[in-house]
């Protein structure tokens, strides 16, 4: 079974600085998706960024980028120029490419605080 591990329960960053959130996963599949979701205090689940495993190029969305290391099964999220609005719980998630079921499997989350 696939698993997702986030080893940093909490992180803190100064406004305008850069922070990296870590995520590792385990799977025997070769094709899959990886995601970072953000959950602010409103508790809404917001997609931050996605990565398809077959793509070697790391995904980037504005100030958010990932470092995808397929062989190491590592998928970290880098937030540049951190803003107060980035403060939230961040979940790393895995999803099979297809198959009988393709539910999203979440890590336990990293709570990010942004200091002014």
Tokens standing for residue 15: 């406004």
Stretch that binds another protein, among 16-24, 29-37, 63-71, 74-82 (CB under 8 A): 29-37
- Report the alpha-carbon angle 68-72-76, nearest 5: 35
**Cα 14 to Cα 68: distance, rounded to the nearest angstrom:** 25
CB of 106 to another protein, least distance (A): 5
Nearer to another protein among residue 82 and residue 92 (C-beta): 92
Nearer to another protein, 69 or 97 (CB): 97
Write b or e for each residue in 62-93: b if 16 or more Cβ atoms lie within 10 A of its Cβ, otherwise e.
eebbbbbeeeebebbbbbeebeeebbbbbbbb
Residues from 32 through 61 that contact another protein (CB under 8 A): 33, 35, 37, 42-45, 47, 50, 52
Q: Is 100 in the site for another protein (CB under 8 A)?
A: yes
List residues near another protein by CB under 8 A. Answer: 33, 35, 37, 42-45, 47, 50, 52, 91, 95, 97-109
């Amino acid at each position: 079974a696939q698993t997702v591990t986030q080893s940093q329960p909490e992180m803190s960053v100064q406004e305008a600085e850069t922070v990296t959130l870590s995520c590792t996963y385990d799977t025997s599949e070769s094709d899959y998706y990886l995601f970072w979701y953000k959950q602010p205090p409103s508790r809404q689940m917001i997609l931050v960024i996605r990565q398809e495993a077959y793509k070697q190029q790391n995904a980037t969305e504005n100030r958010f980028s990932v470092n995808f290391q397929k062989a190491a099964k590592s998928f970290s999220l880098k937030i540049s120029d951190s803003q107060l609005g980035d403060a939230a719980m961040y979940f790393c998630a895995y999803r099979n490419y297809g198959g009988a079921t393709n539910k999203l499997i979440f890590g336990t989350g990293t709570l990010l605080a942004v200091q002014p």
